Structure 1
Amino acid sequence: MAQQAKAVRRTPLSRDRVLRAAVALADDIGIEALSMRKLAQELGVVPMALYKHVANKEQLLDGMVDVVMSEIDPPATGADWKGAVRQRILSARRAFLGHPWAAQVIQSRSSPTPVVLAYMDSVIGMFRTGGFSLDLTHHVMHALGSRMMGITQELFDASPGPDPQSRSAVPREGAGEFPYVMELAGAVAHDEGSVVGQGCDDQFEFEFALDLLLDGFERLREQGWSSVGSSRGKGQ
């Protein structure tokens, strides 16, 4: 016990150490199982020692998100807006894929931390300095949504079940009623582990959609698009 106390004194607690230990623990046991008590045990301290660095569990979660965000590459210098945005978003995706719980946490936050705001500001700035009007940038950010963070949410959960038939979007008995769904579902070989559908390459699908969006944004910028002159504006 004395040796343990001595080791703790040699490596004093800090906010950074607490947060990084929490991230590593969540990676290991999952975010649902993470608790201040388990984190204290991992660090070899009493739970009350943690509260000198994080006021509560919510502040801990915010700080953990910030640690993950710190793994995102800095903005590319000298790149065109499209390349810079693409690189930034794909780097964010790598960071969040490295910590599968992080997307769930960031989507549960009621407001972004300064670190998250700084990331958002950098992405918005790439569009603005790339020649996008404030109006178009506003709609671009809506279109990107959580994809700006490298996160996507599919309409249906395609995680594999114990029965291969249960993974199909349409029950076998309903195949005749939904021929195009069945045609598309049967057009690819099905592999496990994809959130966008068994047999789909998550990274490919993410980049495919991202590139479609970026190409569309570029066309609108070149056209001088404005929401005032759009069909939405005319209908109001």
Structure 2
Amino acid sequence: MDRRAPLNRDRVLRAAVALADAEGIDAVSMRNLAQELKVVPMALYKHVANKDELLDGMVDVIVGEIEPPADDDAWKSAIRRRILSARQVLLRHPWASRVIESRPGPTLIVLDYLNSVVGMFRSGGFSVDLAHHVMHALGSRVWGFTQELFPAAPAVDPTAVADRYPYIMEIAMAGAHDGDSAVGPGCDDQFEFEFALDLLLDGFERLHRQGWTPPRRRSRP
């Protein structure tokens, strides 16, 4: 007797996330997913129309794992905790940052998350203009990852690098680096992520207290 759970959208999406976790995002295809679920590929199309909808749904599953904010938290601690929760989610799902960046537009669940982050700034007294600018400043940090300054090591002789680029070598050798970071190789370890996040939040707080307003925009000719 076949006791498998009935196929539905949630089961398909969670199986796709598990496949990406186990084998990487490049292994996720409708055919491979059908094999994992022991169904014919056409059975999947009743629940996800195509690969793009599958990827969107996988992002929704990931976003659903981010810890919701506590209602009684101050804006700064609430946002910090929410973003660090997002980072922990990405550490569990190392492929997720690549997929998030690849999506051409946000789903409703993604918009719910972004709206909640903006809402924490607004509830903290930030003006619409300041909330707008701080979201741009946070960038991908709102999802728990950052783009690397140097995505790959230079393909040159290290001695030549040290001679020609002494300041780059100084900072490269000065701090601890996390070559096995799940959200990208290089300097993006937990300390550096939190350092930059705290620096931004402190700056946002200072601007908020100063009653910052945007400079008058120049009219275009």
Structures share a fold, TM > 0.5?
A: yes
Q: What amino acid sits opposite 2:125 in the alignment?
A: G
With over 3 angstroms needed to count, the CA separation of the structure-2 counterparts of 1:196 and 1:215, relative to structure 1, is farther
1-structure distance, mates of 2:198, 2:176: 24
* Alignment correspondent of 1:139: 133
* Alignment match, 1:60: 54
| Equivalent in the alignment of 1:202 | 189
Q: Aligned pair count? A: 218
Are the counterparts in 1 of residues 178 and 189 from structure 2 also a CA contact under 8 Å?
no
Choose between structure 1 and 2 for higher RCO, CA contacts under 8 A separated by at least 6 residues: 2
Letter aligned with residue 70 of structure 1: G
Task: Letter of the 1:89 partner, please give it.
Answer: I
The match for 2:179 is 192
1:177 Cα shift? 2.4
How far off its partner does 1:189 sit? 5.6
Instruction: Answer whether contact 1:76 1:87 (CA < 8 A) is retained.
Output: no
Distance in structure 1 (CA, Å) of the matches to 2:54 and 2:27: 14
- Which residue in the other structure is 2:26 paired with? 32
* Cα displacement (A) at 1:176: 2.2
Choose which of 3, 18, 23 in structure 2 pairs with 1:7: 3
Matched residues in 2 for 1:167 and 1:69: separation?
A: 34
Q: CA RMSD in A?
A: 2.2
1:188 deviation in Å?
A: 3.7
Partner of 1:181: 168
- The residue number in structure 2 matching 1:223 is 210
- Range moving further from structure 2, 67-76 or 185-194: 185-194
The partner residue of 1:88 within 77, 82, 87 is 82
Contact 1:228–1:234 (CA under 8 A) maintained in structure 2: no
> What TM-score, normalized by structure 2, do the two folds share?
0.91
Which structure would you say has the larger Rg?
A: 1
Partner of 2:115: 121
The TM-score normalised by the length of structure 1 is: 0.85
Alignment of 1:154-165 (within 5 A): 154-158=148-152
The residue number in structure 1 matching 2:198 is 211
| Structure 2 letter corresponding to 1:223 | Q
Q: Is the 8 A contact 1:170 1:182 kept in 2?
A: no
2:177·2:189 contact (CA, 8 Å) conserved in 1? no
Question: Who is 1:161 aligned against?
Answer: none
Offset at residue 74 of structure 1 (A): 0.9
CA–CA distance in 2 between the matches of 1:170 and 1:227? 47
Match of 1:101 among 80, 92, 95: 95
How far apart, CA to CA, are the structure 2 residues paired with 1:143 and 1:211? Answer: 12
